[in-house]
Structure 1
Amino acid sequence: MTQFTIDTEVADIVTALPQSAEVFRKLRIDFCCGGKVALKTAAMEQGFNPEEILKEIKELENTQPSEAFDPASFGDRTLVTYIQETYHDPLREQLPELSKYVSTVVNVHGSLHPELYRVQELFEELSTELLDHTKDEDMNVFPLLLTFLRNPSNELVEKVTPHVQELEEEHENTGKLLFELRDITNNFTLPEGACATYSLVYRQLEELEKKTFQHVHLENNILFERVKKVLHSLN
């Protein structure tokens, strides 16, 4: 059993105990781009008692199955394939469909709920960014990273380093969009009398948030960390 404390970094907790991601997401504690901070610091910044969060995490750990599914244990190529099949591929199918529902809700309910216009702006920006980002990863960055991890060389360092930095910056911007989306929807709280389509949109937006944070965590705190370790070894 992992000995978590309030001084353990948030990203390390989620890496060792993936179920804890849901705890942090609901508390709006960044475990992706901002996850390299101690639980104590992250909790206090959000106004929470770190000991109470630690207690909840330890309860999760005690109920964790002995053979828990853990993508962090995958080899490099398997991890990349898992990211692509679990997160990248579904986005290309789901985002265009969700865009239609968002437009419908804005057209029907926007006059009474003007915040929906900002929801639509945020969603469209997020959608464009995610689709462009994942396409670049699949076509260019992931093949380069796998080549580098399989056969690291000084010649590849200059190519790999800026790619990782750029992707982490894009991940950070994605996180900001998601946090604003949660803010403006009041934690995806439906107004009284919301129709079925309204409910569907908020439910799918919250699911998109959940999956995107999981997605970014696997890249930032597992895949990219492997790359950084190799980069460090060559310096």
Structure 2
Amino acid sequence: MNSFTVEHTPAEIVKVFPKASDLFKKRRIDFCCGGDRPLGTVFTEKNMDEVAVLSELNTAFEIWSKEDHEVIDWDRVPLSELVDHIVHKHHAYLNEELSPLGQFVTKIFRVHGDAHPHLQELHRLYNDFKVDMEAHMVKEENEVFPLVKEYEKNPSQELAEQIHIENGGLEDEHESQGNILKRMREITNDFIPPAGACNSYQITYARLAELETDTFQHVHLENNVLFKRIKS
């Protein structure tokens, strides 16, 4: 691919150029739940300067392309390996991070909530996200991912349809979780701590930004790769 155009979707671009996710987050362009719409449509809806955004995107891609990167073509990786990658990388990260990060979110709300009222909403949003994601991962690991592995061994129309039925609920949950992350970014000024913020405040925002990055990549792999490869 030489350059990206308004015809490309954010999901397609991130598959080829993973670092594009940073630009899309900065510009608040969805590349996971709603990532299958052409950039031209997104630019129109958001009233963005398409020339400026495409120029920034393609310049970054040109520089990145000259560097040495190993990009995994997830469209060709066996489904079982893709599922294991999601579980061992993204689910493991969430299982390790959600509770300790929640303690930081609670701490800054308790200490700084009076001076910074948005921390009350952040606290509520984070806990909603935590509860949703924990239940979501259990459903995937216990119900949906075993079906995907069975489909890889014995593909059938019936099994594919069953997976897509299960995934319909998962995609709704992905959208809800994505909206929570977008709102957290909005009320935290793109996860930039206020001037003079204490160390705990700074750590909390940095870890929230990392959580967003990992979760969007996680959802992108599921919505735009894994489930799209299962043909019903």
TM over 0.5: yes
Runs of 4+ in 1 over 3 A off after TM superposition: none
Q: Partner amino acid for 1:14?
A: V
Report the CA distance between 1:155 and its aligned residue: 3.1
Q: 1:26 — aligned with what? A: 26
2:73 aligned with 1:108, yes or no?
no
Q: 2:42 — aligned with what? A: 42
Q: 1:132 — aligned with what? A: 135
% identity of equivalent residues: 37
Q: 2:59 — aligned with what? A: 59
Report the CA distance between 1:215 and its aligned residue: 0.7
Q: Counterparts in 2 of 1:54-203, with a 5 A limit?
A: 54-62=54-62, 63-64=64-65, 65=67, 67-70=69-72, 72=74, 73-203=76-206
The equivalent position to 2:228 in structure 1, one of 219, 225, 229, is 225
Contact 1:188 1:206 survives alignment (8 Å): yes
SS at structure 2 position matched to 1:7:
coil
Sort the Cα spacing of 1:142 and 1:212 in 2 relative to 1 into closer, same or farther, 3 A.
Answer: same
Sort the Cα spacing of 1:140 and 1:8 in 2 relative to 1 into closer, same or farther, 3 A.
Answer: same
Contact 1:6 1:40 survives alignment (8 Å): yes
1:120-152 Cα distance to aligned partner (Å, 9 max, x none)? 000000011111111211121111012123322
Report the CA distance between 1:54 and its aligned residue: 1.8
Aligned equivalents of 1:155, 1:225: Cα separation in 2: 16
Aligned equivalents of 1:14, 1:157: Cα separation in 2: 26
1:191-231 Cα distance to aligned partner (Å, 9 max, x none)? 2221100111111111111111111001100001101xx21
Aligned equivalents of 2:48, 2:133: Cα separation in 1: 31
Aligned equivalents of 2:55, 2:33: Cα separation in 1: 24
Sort the Cα spacing of 1:38 and 1:150 in 2 relative to 1 into closer, same or farther, 3 A.
Answer: same
Report the CA distance between 1:13 and its aligned residue: 1.2
Contact 1:43 1:49 survives alignment (8 Å): yes
Q: Partner amino acid for 2:78?
A: G
2:203 aligned with 1:207, yes or no?
no
Aligned equivalents of 1:104, 1:4: Cα separation in 2: 43
SS at structure 2 position matched to 1:32:
coil
Aligned equivalents of 1:216, 1:154: Cα separation in 2: 24
SS at structure 1 position matched to 2:88:
helix
Q: Partner amino acid for 1:47?
A: N
Contact 1:18 1:70 survives alignment (8 Å): no
Sort the Cα spacing of 1:105 and 1:66 in 2 relative to 1 into closer, same or farther, 3 A.
Answer: closer
Sort the Cα spacing of 1:119 and 1:163 in 2 relative to 1 into closer, same or farther, 3 A.
Answer: same
Aligned equivalents of 2:206, 2:120: Cα separation in 1: 17
Deviates more, 1:80-89 or 1:43-52: 43-52
Aligned equivalents of 1:196, 1:89: Cα separation in 2: 26
Deviates more, 1:59-68 or 1:7-16: 59-68
Aligned equivalents of 1:149, 1:53: Cα separation in 2: 39
Gapped regions of structure 2 (runs ≥ 5):
none
SS at structure 1 position matched to 2:141:
helix
Deviates more, 1:209-218 or 1:2-11: 2-11
